[in-house]
Amino acid sequence: MVDTSGLGGNYLSAKGMKVGDKIDVLVTGEGEVRVGDEKFKPSLMLEVKCNGEDKLMRINATNVAIIRDKLGKDTKAWINKTLSFVVVKTNFEGKMGFQFCS
């Protein structure tokens, strides 16, 4: 399990972005699967660098499956790869989120 406590909960968020914005992140760590709760389903917390800042990015099961098909199941192989996402309106509380696009 990866220790992400040093990142202080510095999560990448779509707040302040608009639908259709594209964002590129560099994967910097293998990530950690987080068990779901009453609010969130299980997800992958991935360590990324975005605009030069270390962030945690919650990757939902749909995006994990798409990325896995492209880069493989071993998240260690994702390190130093750039992932591109587009901002979308999600079905989760009508908030904005990210959809993997390449």
Domain membership of residue 4 (yes or no) is no
Domain membership of residue 1 (yes or no) is no
Per the model's pLDDT, the better-predicted residue between 11 and 92 turns out to be 11
pLDDT of residue 71: 94
Q: Which DSSP state fits 101?
A: -
Read off the CATH number of the domain in which 90 is found.
2.40.50
Per the model's pLDDT, the better-predicted residue between 98 and 12 turns out to be 12
Domain that holds residue 23: 17-100
Domain membership of residue 54 (yes or no) is yes
- What's the number of domains the chain is made of? 1
Question: What does the alpha-carbon distance between residue 11 and residue 13 come to, in Å, rounded to a whole number?
Answer: 6
Average pLDDT of the segment spanning 3-13: 61
**pTM assigned to the model:** 0.79
Domain membership of residue 8 (yes or no) is no
Domain membership of residue 2 (yes or no) is no
Domain membership of residue 91 (yes or no) is yes
Per the model's pLDDT, the better-predicted residue between 45 and 2 turns out to be 45
Domain membership of residue 49 (yes or no) is yes
Cβ neighbors of 73 (< 8 A, separation 6 or more) are none
Q: Which DSSP state fits 77?
A: G
Question: What does the alpha-carbon distance between residue 89 and residue 94 come to, in Å, rounded to a whole number?
Answer: 6
The mean pLDDT of the chain is 84
